[in-house]
Amino acid sequence: MAHELKIPSVGESITSATIAEWHKGDGQYVRAGEEVLTIETDKVSQSLEAQVSGKLTHIAAEGDEVDIGAIVATIDESAEAPPEAAGDPKPATTASAAPAAAKTVTVQRDSRATSVATNIAADKGIDLATVKGSGPRGKITKEDVLSAGGGQAAEKRFTRKKMTPLRRKIADHLVNAQQNAAILTTFNECDMSSIMATRKRVQDEFVEKHGVKLGFMSFFLKAVVEGLQEVPSINGRIEGDEIIQNQFYDIGVAVGTEKGLVVPVIRDVDKKSFAEIEQDIIDYATKAREGKIQLADLLGGVFTVTNGGIYGSLLSTPIINPPQSGILGMHTIQQRPVAVDGEVVIRPMMYLALSYDHRIVDGKEAVTFLVKVKECLEEPEAMMMGLV
């Protein structure tokens, strides 16, 4: 009996997915629970596991875009497990069996290459060690092997590959944001001395009590909530000819992954402690690295915070994440001379950038919001006690 492996539903608005990578080759025996393939949609990546044990037969190839519910493989449950899969020891080689063994060709799965690339390389006699990968993290793709000749990596002036559904969605989302909103950016700068001193003073005790480190992001998310409560219009959105005013504080945190930008949402930031926020951020970062971010993790945010500073960005003009009306850009902390009480001193400074939809947020409101965020960050202990 053949078990059908189908593309599962991953969200109401998602109608198709792309076969990103087969982890098990065509004709290979798989065990129930083993990871078989990874699919990508325009929002998330997801790994699919074998529900039964048996011989795997591919129906769709890597790179194919298939509908939700489509059958992409079958698993023949009647297939007999090979000795290695069954856990049996390999039979001893005898003199009579030696000639037959000599004719057997074994394709060694190379973790640096996709399954298809490995099979093509074996067919063409190409040494994968000589092929340079153009995929994520240097992964060797089918195109890389096809471009290689005589076992040597071919010299190419350019490569061509289809955009992933996630990358296409990001591209469309950013273009639509600029076309449909009146985006304006206002700037300020923040002296990070107090936050850095506070973190240093309480870090050991914080880790001992909560099991997580106290980072910068929890301060910024709390400061954003203070700003949104001060200027409610930024915590709203335009829907047709109406303004929807949000009464909750679910804040998105932009996370860069190898496959593109995702924005998981920290729920009810106003009600959570610093430790709970830090734990949520760690959990999302882990899920993003493992490609396990779910659609539900990305929906419903009212505002976004993005940190280009981790990549060294000194200043930027972030693009809002529709239908939200604002996004705060954090940047690298830089030692700079500033005037304090009539004297020039060196302080760790960060530029802040607020991009906002000018259709719903006036310039005065945007500046008020950013000043409030700056005040909270420069007086973190007062913010923590609700005194700012």
Distance CA 217, CA 280 (A): 11
Interhelix angle 274-289/217-230, rounded to 10 degrees, is: 120
Cα 169 to Cα 42, 50, 59, 172: the distances in Å are: 5, 29, 26, 5
**Cis preceding-peptide flag for 337 (omega within 30 of 0):** no
Bridge partners, residue 30, by sequence: 54
Q: What are phi and psi of 330, to 5 degrees?
A: -95, 155
Say which amino acid occupies 300.
G
The catalytic site residues sit at 358, 362
**All residues at 6 or more sequence positions from 58 whose CB lies less than 8 Å from its CB, including other chains:** 22, 26, 72, 73
What b/e string do you get for 93-126 counting C-beta neighbours within 10 Å, with b at 16 or more? eeeeeeeeeeeeeeeeebeebbbbbbbbbbeeeb
Parallel, antiparallel or unpaired: strands 16-22 and 65-67: antiparallel
DSSP 8-state symbol, 89: P
Say which amino acid occupies 227.
G
Distance CA 147, CA 45 (A): 28
